[in-house]
Structures are given as structure tokens and as C-alpha cells.
Structure 1
Amino acid sequence: MSYIVAVKGQLERGMCATVDSGEVIILSDEDDEADASVLLVEVEPKDKSNALFIPALSESVLPASDEDLVVTFSRRADLLPHARYDCPIQPFMATECEISAPVHNNKLICEQCFCYICDKLASQCETWSSSGVCHCNSHKKSTFWNNLRNSTLLGGLQSFNLTLCEIDSHLRHAEALLQRFKAELSQMFSAYLNGKPAQEYGLKLQGNVHDYTPVFDCVNAFLTLAEKQDSRAGAIMQLGAAEAFVRHYSASGTFVPLLPMANAFAARTSLINRVVSFLQRQIVTGEFTLEFSHKLQEFYKTLSFPAQLKALKNSLCVRPWEDVLLGSVLRGQNVSGFRKDKGKKDVLVEQMSVVQLRAERLQQQGRYRELFRYLRVVQTDDPKSFQQLLDLMPYFLCADGQLSLAFQTLMTTQSSRLSPPLFLTYLHIFRTATVPIQVLRQHTDLCAPAAWKPVKDAVPLKQVELVKFALKVQAFSPDVSNDSQCWICMLSMVSSPAGYDCGLPEPSADYLRESKDLVKSILLSQSNSNLQIPRHFLEVYPDQGLLLLLTEALAQRLLRGLLSPLLPVLCVFQKNVWAQRCLWDSLSSCEHFKAFLSETAGERGVNSDKTLDFLHTLPPPSSHTDQ
């Protein structure tokens, strides 16, 4: 039995002294304090039966030295709550599975003895010494008693292979809610099987109507409740509910209402998909430990799926983030998406729902480079939906700061498929090295970004690269080529670059004359290959040369048909009238020029914006048609 003794003085470490019938063992000592020290000592009575006796400390415990010990305080150590088999007062005799009657004195207890099975005070155990269920004989070294303890304390949670160490108040509450739900669901399913007379549905027919809708509503409400609980508790509730309703079957009645969830099969499919979707998200987002996730997956495999739902049997087989193949792909160590594991080929194949969840998670964590590596090799079961994610790969490269690689990817793979909003978004990204602040699921999510953020260490693309991108897209994407706003952005980009608020200086007449045929040949060359701009063309007038390229591209577009609205596009030239004259020169010999001038005149007539005043300098239609 332990005692706490405060002593004054010093003792050498390991010293002990006799105290009457007990032995004082020094547990600690302070050598650093020269004046005094407080020691914890343990007294072990030789007479074990006299456990409550506190031996008196006498002078015999004190060494005969100049610095004698002085006992200033002593008391018996507190007796803490303990299992019956660990009681220091009442002896216990262990047996494997004796339940008929108490063994020896096992039913005797002290005030701190707990029942190992019930996990409460032995004095409160109702079957402590009852014949056939004697809990007083239980102990932790018996497989029988351990199984009984788990069954008693875990209840319905035992089927999930959980341990007592994993159980908390949330899980116990979830188990109680689940038991009540199963009882209610059983009654409702019985009512569904019995059906209701057709007359209650306003049908003048004989027979019963079997409507699964009330059962569906009951399960649906419980799943909603589960989603509001602690993450682990919610998962247990969802799987427990699935275990109950997945066994349901269609009634053999005559009539089924034409309601969305009146059919048992359709309702069960919808419900199990909801459960799978919830659990997949929890597993992928890292809400659970690896061990807990594995237990959920193993429980899901034990569900008795009917033949119609067998395809969902493996829906919860989600690779953990720690998976060897997945981890090597994310780190860039595996670019093929498969590996040999003990002679078997392991391929990175995942459900589309899991791929989308991983994409969301990696975006939230800013791991765009890893997301790019993952999407490049993963295989999935929905190619159409997967293509929408693949279309976002240039954006993920931009978000990772690899603007040049994203530029090349767009130029080679998606230039013909960009819509006007997407083109404008990418043009803004390349110009500013900023990206939208949002999690993207498909390409159209880029069309209307609400906010932007700078990309760390990213450098905006050069003006010449931006012009190449713009010309490439407008040449191969009819939607961009026919959109006035796209032309406004392209022309504005080069009309007033940094340092030229009042427009670009007019190039020399010789340069304009020589560049007239050159820009046409440059634009013609891009139909068969990437746009190549000769270096000498931009040596003297780099900004003016880029504006001439876009102006000629606009002229060629207008030769194929008018843009509407046209005047906002022409307004971009108000600071660079010399470029507007080049546009006129390219169009004046066209047979559609009269219609072009009529269109601009019509738009000027209904637009009172003073910014259009410079267009009054346009020559009248007659001066061109008379030529």
C-alpha cells in the first residue's frame, strides 16, 4: 500500500529504511537543494491482510547521522477506481468463462470496484453474481469475457469492427439514433408491403397501392440528420441506414403510383448513391483516419446488395492519399499511372466522382502541379465528364505559375474550342499573372470569375506572345472571331501599352508601306502552322507592328462579314488614327465596303456617345463607291 511522506533533510539516492512492519522505499530525491527535499515513499506492509493499517513512523527510520530526517506529513495513497480483478483489497481468482456462479470470493468488492463488462460500479451491476451471467468473474485476459464486454459496451457499433478506444460520446449518440431509426423504418416498410386500398388514392379499382415514398422520406430525413452530426458519427449513421434499406424489395402488389420515389428500386438507388457520395467526400477530404476509413469500407462490402445494385458494390473502394501508386504519381515519380505489385499490374483507375473530389481537394490546398500530374495519368469510368476536367489543365498550369506551358497547351490543343468568355479569361490571366479565386469543376466555371489573386512568382507573358495567342484563337474559333468584345480586348491590349496613354506614335511611311504585304503573309502562314513573326518586323516599331497585325486580322474578318456591334470596335482606334487608316485601306477595295460604311453610319445615328466623334472624319460612302 502506498503512502505519501514529506521529509526534511537529505538522503542518498536508493536509500531505504525500515518502518515497523513496513519498508520505506525512496522513489525520488532532490540533490540540488541543500536545505531540504520532499520525498515520495511507498510503504509495503508485510501483512497483506492488514491493508488498511498505517504503520507509525518511528525514530528507527531515521539514520543516525548529524542530519536526521524529520517526518512532517504522511497519509495513505488514494484508492482509485479499478476493475474487480485488479482490486488491491479483495483477492480475485481468474477463470476462462465461468458464468454459473461466483468463483471463490470474486463477488466481494470494495467501494471502488468496477464491473469489467458493464463499465460501471460493481455495486450497480444488476447481474454481478446472478447465476448464468456472473459478471463478477470477468477479467481482461479471457477471450470470452472480452467478447462479451465488447458486445455489451459497443452495442450496434460492434458490427463496424470499432474498438472501445475509438468510441466517444458522438458515436454513442449516433448508435442510439440508428437503433431508433431502424425500428421506425421497419414499421414503415411493413406498411409499404401491406399497401393501401386503391380508393384512398382516388382510384376506382380493386386492390392495394404500394407507395414507397413514405419510406424514402423517412430514410432521406435520417440521412440529412446524419450529415449534421460529427463526421465519424454521420458516417456510421449513413452506413447503418444503408444496411437497413438496401435489403428492401418491391412489393408484389398490383398498383404503384406514378411518383418519383414510389418505386422501391428507384428510391433505393437514389438513397445508396447519396450515402456513397457523402462517404466518398469524407474519405477523400481526409475527415477520417486511415484505419477508420478502412473499417467503413470493409463494412460497406458486407452489405447485401440486390442484383440490380451489384454495380455499386465497390463504390466505396477509394484509394487513400497514402497509397503507393497514387503518391508516386502526385510526386511526379510515376508518369505512366501503373506499377507492378507482387507480379500484378496496379493501374490508377478511379470513379469519376472520386476524381472530381480529388481535384477539388488539391485545388483547395493549392497543389496544382500535383493535380496536373494526377489528371494526366488517371483513368476513369466517365470519359465525357473527365474531358471537362482535362480542359482545365491549362488553367491548373497557370495557377501553378507555369504560364508559358499553359500558353503552349492552349495553342496546340484548345484554340479552336475556346468560347469568347474563356478566351477573355485566359487573356487576362496571361496579361496579369493572376487567376480566379474559386474551385473549378468544369471549363465554364472560368467564364465569370468573381475575384482574382496573383500567382506566386509568375511573370506575365510578353506582348508578342499575347498577340500570337489572340491571333491563333480568332483564326480557329469562329465564336471568338465573331465576338466584338473579343476584338475590343485584343486591340486595346496593343493600342495603349504602358507609357503610351495617348496612343502609339505613327510609324514612318516607308515602314507602313513595307509592312502592308508582310502582315498579310504572316497571317496567311498561321493557317498551316504556328504563327511566326519575323524578328526584323518588330525591331524598329515593336508595338506598332503588333497593332498592324491585329488591324489586318480585323480587316480580313470584316471581309468575310460584318461584326455587330461594330462601332465599339472602331472606337479602339481613336488614339491611333493611323492604324484606322490602314484598316480603311484594306477595306476600301472590297465590294462590301458600301455596306460596311452604311452599318457604321447607322450605328452612329443611334449612339450619342461623344467618344464616337472621331468617326465623323470617315469619308462618305459615295467617295468610295464612285471609285
Structure 2
Amino acid sequence: MRPSKKEEEQNIILISDDEAESTLGSSVLLVDPLEKPALEEEKSEEVVDEECDLVVTFCKKANVMPHARYDCTMHPFERTECDRCSPLGKNADICDQCYCYICDKLASECENWTVPALCHCNAHNKSKFWKDQRDFALAGILVMFNLELADIDADLRHGGDLLLKFIQELSVEYNKYLAGEEMLHTQHECFCLPKLPPGQCDVCRSRSMEVVYKYSGVFTLVTRFLNQAEKENPKATAVMFLGAAKEIALHKDPAINWQNLGHTASLKIAVPCLLQRITTRLQRMLVLCDFPKSLHEKFVNFFQSISLPCHCFGFSNSLNVMPWDHVLLTTVLKGQNVTGQRTLRGRKVFLWEPLPVIEARMEKLVDKKNYKEVVRYLRAVKCNDTKGLRHLRDKIPFYLCKSGDFLDAAHSLLFPVNSLACCTACRLTPFEYEVYLKMFRTGSVPGGKDILDPGLWIAAGPPLKDGVLIKQALKLLYCNMSLYRNPKCWSTLIMILGSSNFLEKSGHLLPMSLKEPPLDFQKGVLAASCGLLKELKAKINVSLPPSIFSPQNNFWALRLLLDHLSYEENVLHGTVNLILRDLHCQKATMLKLWQNLGPQYVGEFLCLFLTCRHQKMQSIGLFSLNIIAENLHMCPWAKHLCNFFHNAGLRHLPLGTAAHHEVSKFINIFENL
């Protein structure tokens, strides 16, 4: 069915194709074919333009849509660049649909439409001055960041509102600072070096009414504002920090002479301190926060535009943070550039970044588990803070373990990144030494981001071979004297080598017990060990005899170790004291463990120490025996232990006066029952 003529008729909007030549700018006219003329309903005669084939069959006055004042068709408008003293011509006249270009609301509601020195009625879109006024009205204080209106979201606007409020408060506090305080010499604090009690310094007494300028109030206000900013969303935080930096950089010290008032009261000390906090935070944010590229650049350009005083020149280039897509950085992260330098137009360019930026990049890469990229970056990057960078590079072996490359991790512990630094092994703690050996032995790593983080362990790759593990473990001990002299580290080495290469998720090692090898093999190991240790001290690459890795039994190996510890008195005493301390602290744990292991194990353990030729070592057996005697109710197997002593002939061995007396006393307890 063909639609009626009335249904085919629609509203038509006519917009000029050439806005530049249009006298109406961006105005919009509505033509309504359904509305009848007010005076008559007769159709006009057809008018034909033969040149453009345009036929006009009907005309009517259009409905006027909302428009800017300069586009009004009812009232003429005069344009000038920045005249705001008074309304020009008939610019103040408006229709019902005229809008203020500055306020973006109906002209009838504009409070500054005809106000002298403002005169929004003269505003139009062909003037840079009025465009800037409009941007400031819509963007507020954010206009100083040169942001596009499309870039401004709720977070940025919120940060701008807080910044504007802060600037108003700061102006009041800064004026108080400029006014200063007059102090009499009787209450005048001495500002000279060295300080003297009030009234006793001749120099300060001569300035009986000197004006003192204390910046403490401003410092407190800025600090409170920065604390508030750190709790906001990243965009708001950045705006607030940058705005605060610009404001305090404009502050001047009115004092003629230097006044030693402290780090918060002296402007030339307080302002650099605040800028250090601001720039450090912004450096991290530029790395960690995914700001749009244009916003990132505008933040950096804004800081560059700040006119820093002479006591803050060190911060001039502090926000020149290399973006993630920079060619030098990307080639380093991908492993295409291992040196961190490239030649650009005949000049060498280095990957050189401040420590907060390096820490932030590490944090982001670790969060993404890009451990190999972290290692490449740390090996290539350079920094003015060499001590801080060295601390970060000490984590390289751990990140290599996280990536499953345990062999490279073991080597990186012993070899420094560059020839001017010492190796990471020199700074290992006993706990870190234990964790590294555990990782090398089992091929598992802690699930956390740091080597000291507690939590579950996960498999990362194949563990080191036994020969490589022993060599690396001994090299670490010889590189670090604090580890070498610590009996705990030697016991750690023995415990880990005597454990299985399978690890529980909790990080606990599984013990391993093997049969005792022949006596000839034991003697061969002892003969080879002395020469082997000397070679380890002198050389880096040492080959271990294959026969050294034959199966070993825990107790016979421990006896072998204890017998040879007696040759080093200081090591022996340290080891015994450590064991006694642990037994004292872990009495309940030991008793529970012995209940599960039974009298055979406990008997072998006690005999091992009681029959040692060194009396210091026997004290461990005696201490353990006393624990059992004092807790017989928890040791139902103690009577069987006496039988073990009888069968071993322990009562008749020349153990020494103290040991013989305690063993006989223990046996007599059960014989008299």
C-alpha cells in the first residue's frame, strides 16, 4: 500500500556545507513541512534556478534551535578579539535560544553577560582570547595542564577541584609566612653556628628586632595536601602533585641573610624536600600507571614549564621518564641489547634512570612475571645511586631461579654485573644461603615476589646436579666469611645435601636415608676432600671425583663430620653451642619427634654424641639424655633405650667422668623400678 503524501513529509534540517563562509557559524535551522503558514495556506509559486537545477516549491520561517549568541539570526553581532569593557553594539540583545559561549548556559542565566571587564556577551569562537576563557570556565584550573576537554574525566576534574581549594588555602598561609615574626633578643633563638642559648649570642643580640620567616606552616599544609593526594586515583594524584610543585616553586625567601631554622622552617631546605617527595612519587606513577600517551606527555611538559628556583635546579629533568615503548628500553627488555647503550647521530646514549624509576619498572615486570626481562633490565641499566642499584641487582639470582634457570642463578651469585662491584655472594645472609641451596637442590622456588616472602613453593625447572650444587655451595661459603664462620650455614649444607630433591609445597625438605658405603670409600672421600677444598679456595672451576656421590647413611656421615670438626676448635665450639641452643628451644618438638622415631633411632643419636672423643661434643648427648629423664611420661620407650645402652656396651666405655656418671644414673632409674 502506497503511503499517503502526509506520511511522506518529514522535518528537514538545513546545515551550511561551508561553515567558514557561513554568516551563521554553527547555527541550525529547522524546516517543518507539516506546519501551515500563519497568514495564509497558499503555496508559493515555483521558483526554478536553471543554473543549479534547484526548485523551491514551499517556504516558511524556520524554528530556531539553541545557539551561541554570535550565531543568532534575530540580533546582529559584532566581533572583536578581546573587548570586554562593555557590550559592543547590540551584542547584549538576546533571543530565547541564545546561549553564553563562556558559561555554556542560556544567556538569560549568565551572571556576567554585561558585567564590565567580563562581558560574556562579546564572546565568540573566532577569538583565541575568548576560547581560552571558555576553556578555563569549562576545565577550571585544569586548563593550565593544556588538557583537551575530551581528555578531562571525573578523576581529573576531582583532582582539579581539590587543587583549587588547596591553592586558596596555600595563598593565605604563604602570606602569613611573608609577614614574618618580630622577635626580641631575650626570646630570640640563636641562628648562628654553633647555637647559643637565647640572649647570649652577640650577633643575634645586635638584631634586637629581627624579623624571622618560618616556613613551617606552609610545609605542614603542603604535606597534609600531599598525604591526601596519595589516597586519590592516579590521575587526580598526578594533577594534585604537579599543581603543588608549581605553587611551592614560586615561593620566595624574603630574608636578607640566611636563617638556620631547621629543615621545615627554612624555605630553601623545605621546598627541595617537598619536591623530592613529589618527583619521586610522580616518577613511579609515570611508570606504573597506564596514563594515555597524550596525558603522559602533558604531565611531563607541564613540569618542564615550571620555573624552578636556583635551590631546586637539581629537579629540572627529574620527570624525563623513558616511556615503555622507547626503542632503547624495548631492545634491552627483549634481549637485543645487553649493554644498555646505542649510538644515535654519532653520540652514545645510555639506559640511565633514577632509582625510583628502576624500582617501579622492576615492580611492574615482576607483577607480570616477566623475570627474564627484569634480569636483562637490571644488568643493562645505570643509575647515579650505585648502592641502591647494587641492592636491586642482588635480586638477579632470585629472578633467574623464578624463571627456572638455576645454573645461571648459581653463577650470577659469584660473578658481579660489572668489574667495579663485588659479587652478590659477599652480602648473602645465612637464611638467604639456605633458601638458595634449597632452590638449587629441589628446582622449586618460593611463590612470593621476594626471596624472604613466606608462602607455598612451586616447581620452576630442573634442579642442579649434585656435583654442581656442592661446588657452588662451597664457593659461596668461601666468598663470604660471615657465612664461612657461621656453623648454621655448614649444618644447612649438610641438611640439604642429605635431603631428597623433592620439596613439599610448604617448603619443608623431605629427609633421605641411605645405606652406609664401604669403609674404603669413606677413607677415599676424606683423602680427596682436603685437596678439593684447597682447590676451591684457589680456583673457580673444580672437578669433583664421581665416586664422591655414592650413597651415604645419615648417622655415619654425621659421625665423620663430628670427628673432623675437632680439628677446628672455633668451628667445633660454635657448632656445639648452636646445637645446644636449638635443643633447649625445641624440647617439645624433639620429644614429639623421638616418640615417632622410637628407641632405636634415639639410641643411635645419643651414642653418636656420647662416644665422641671430644668432651665438648659429648655435652650434646648429655643434654639430650637429661631431656628424656625429665620427661619420662612422654617417653614410654625409655626402658627400651636402657636395653640399647646395655647392648652397645655404653656403660663400660671410657666416656669420661661426667658422661659415665649420667649414663649410669639413667640406667639405674629403670633398674630400680
Given residue 535 of structure 1, which amino acid in structure 2 is its aligned partner?
Answer: P
- What is the DSSP-based 3-state SS (H/G/I as helix, E as strand, rest coil) of the residue aligned with 1:435? strand
Matched, 1:178 2:163: yes
d(CA) in 2 for partners of 1:498, 1:147: 71
Contact 1:127 1:135 in 2 (8 A): yes
Aligned position for 1:451 = 455
Cα 1:397–1:120 shift into 2, 3 Å: same
d(CA) in 1 for partners of 2:304, 2:143: 16
d(CA) in 1 for partners of 2:341, 2:407: 29
- Report sequence identity in percent: 30
Aligned position for 2:616 = 599
Matched, 1:368 2:380: no
Q: How does 1:390-539 map to 2 (within 5 A)?
A: 390-412=393-415, 413-440=423-450, 446=451, 448-455=452-459, 457-497=460-500, 503-529=513-539, 530-538=541-549
Given residue 313 of structure 2, which amino acid in structure 1 is its aligned partner?
Answer: K
Matched, 1:326 2:329: yes
- What is the DSSP-based 3-state SS (H/G/I as helix, E as strand, rest coil) of the residue aligned with 2:574? coil
Summarize deviations over 1:459-506 as a string: whole Å, max 9, x none. 333444333332222333322233233232222223354799683211
Q: How does 1:24-103 map to 2 (within 5 A)?
A: 24=9, 42-43=11-12, 51=31, 54-55=34-35, 83=68, 95=79, 97=81, 99=83, 101=87
Cα 1:558–1:477 shift into 2, 3 Å: farther
- What is the DSSP-based 3-state SS (H/G/I as helix, E as strand, rest coil) of the residue aligned with 2:250? coil
Summarize deviations over 1:203-260 as a string: whole Å, max 9, x none. 5563243322112111111111222223222222222122121232334278957544
Contact 1:502 1:575 in 2 (8 A): no
TM superposition score normalised by structure 1: 0.74
Summarize deviations over 1:414-471 as a string: whole Å, max 9, x none. 444422122012122223434345445xxxxx4x43224415x423334443333322
Summarize deviations over 1:345-382 as a string: whole Å, max 9, x none. 32211112211221222222211111111111111111
> What RMSD over aligned residues (CA atoms) do the two structures have, in Å?
4.4
1:325 CA displacement:
1.0
d(CA) in 1 for partners of 2:5, 2:13: 11
Cα 1:95–1:543 shift into 2, 3 Å: farther
Aligned position for 2:59 = none
Summarize deviations over 1:77-121 as a string: whole Å, max 9, x none. 99986545677x86987956485656788954444x532221222
Aligned position for 1:555 = 564
Matched, 1:189 2:174: yes
d(CA) in 2 for partners of 1:78, 1:536: 103
Aligned position for 1:222 = 225
d(CA) in 1 for partners of 2:140, 2:501: 73
- What is the DSSP-based 3-state SS (H/G/I as helix, E as strand, rest coil) of the residue aligned with 1:369? helix
Cα 1:605–1:92 shift into 2, 3 Å: farther
- What is the DSSP-based 3-state SS (H/G/I as helix, E as strand, rest coil) of the residue aligned with 1:120? coil
d(CA) in 2 for partners of 1:197, 1:137: 50
Query: For structure 1, which segment, 520-529 or 419-428, has the greater mean C-alpha deviation from structure 2 after superposition?
Result: 520-529
Contact 2:413 2:425 in 1 (8 A): yes
Aligned position for 2:273 = 270
Given residue 529 of structure 2, which amino acid in structure 1 is its aligned partner?
Answer: V
Given residue 157 of structure 1, which amino acid in structure 2 is its aligned partner?
Answer: L
d(CA) in 1 for partners of 2:220, 2:247: 14
Contact 1:351 1:380 in 2 (8 A): yes
d(CA) in 1 for partners of 2:431, 2:168: 54
Contact 2:287 2:323 in 1 (8 A): yes
Matched, 1:359 2:362: yes
Aligned position for 2:668 = none
Cα 1:576–1:146 shift into 2, 3 Å: same
Contact 1:491 1:547 in 2 (8 A): no
Given residue 371 of structure 2, which amino acid in structure 1 is its aligned partner?
Answer: Y
Matched, 1:350 2:350: no
Q: How does 1:73-222 map to 2 (within 5 A)?
A: 83=68, 95=79, 97=81, 99=83, 101=87, 107-111=93-97, 113-128=98-113, 135-136=120-121, 138-140=123-125, 142-198=127-183, 203=198, 206-207=208-209, 208-222=211-225
Summarize deviations over 1:28-86 as a string: whole Å, max 9, x none. xxxxxxxxxxxxx554699x998466248xxxxxxxxxxxxxxxxxxxx9998654567
- What is the DSSP-based 3-state SS (H/G/I as helix, E as strand, rest coil) of the residue aligned with 2:255? coil
Cα 1:282–1:414 shift into 2, 3 Å: closer
Given residue 454 of structure 2, which amino acid in structure 1 is its aligned partner?
Answer: A
Contact 2:500 2:512 in 1 (8 A): no
d(CA) in 2 for partners of 1:551, 1:417: 31
User: Which is bigger in relative contact order (C-alpha 8 A, separation at least 6)?
Assistant: 1
Given residue 235 of structure 2, which amino acid in structure 1 is its aligned partner?
Answer: R
d(CA) in 1 for partners of 2:436, 2:394: 13
d(CA) in 1 for partners of 2:82, 2:522: 107
- What is the DSSP-based 3-state SS (H/G/I as helix, E as strand, rest coil) of the residue aligned with 2:99? strand
Cα 1:343–1:148 shift into 2, 3 Å: farther
Given residue 148 of structure 2, which amino acid in structure 1 is its aligned partner?
Answer: T
Summarize deviations over 1:286-325 as a string: whole Å, max 9, x none. 2422221211211112222222221111111111111111
Contact 1:82 1:114 in 2 (8 A): yes
- What is the DSSP-based 3-state SS (H/G/I as helix, E as strand, rest coil) of the residue aligned with 1:564? helix
1:197 CA displacement:
3.6
5+ long unaligned stretches in structure 2: 16-27, 37-61, 190-197, 200-204, 416-422, 503-509, 584-589, 591-599, 629-634, 658-673
Cα 1:303–1:429 shift into 2, 3 Å: same
Summarize deviations over 1:502-529 as a string: whole Å, max 9, x none. 8321112332343332333333322222
d(CA) in 2 for partners of 1:520, 1:235: 63
d(CA) in 2 for partners of 1:83, 1:296: 33
Cα 1:516–1:425 shift into 2, 3 Å: closer
1:201 CA displacement:
6.8
Given residue 449 of structure 1, which amino acid in structure 2 is its aligned partner?
Answer: D
Given residue 180 of structure 1, which amino acid in structure 2 is its aligned partner?
Answer: K
Contact 1:325 1:348 in 2 (8 A): yes
Contact 1:339 1:346 in 2 (8 A): yes
Contact 2:102 2:130 in 1 (8 A): yes
Cα 1:249–1:126 shift into 2, 3 Å: closer
- What is the DSSP-based 3-state SS (H/G/I as helix, E as strand, rest coil) of the residue aligned with 1:566? helix
Contact 2:332 2:377 in 1 (8 A): yes
Cα 1:254–1:141 shift into 2, 3 Å: closer
Cα 1:543–1:224 shift into 2, 3 Å: same
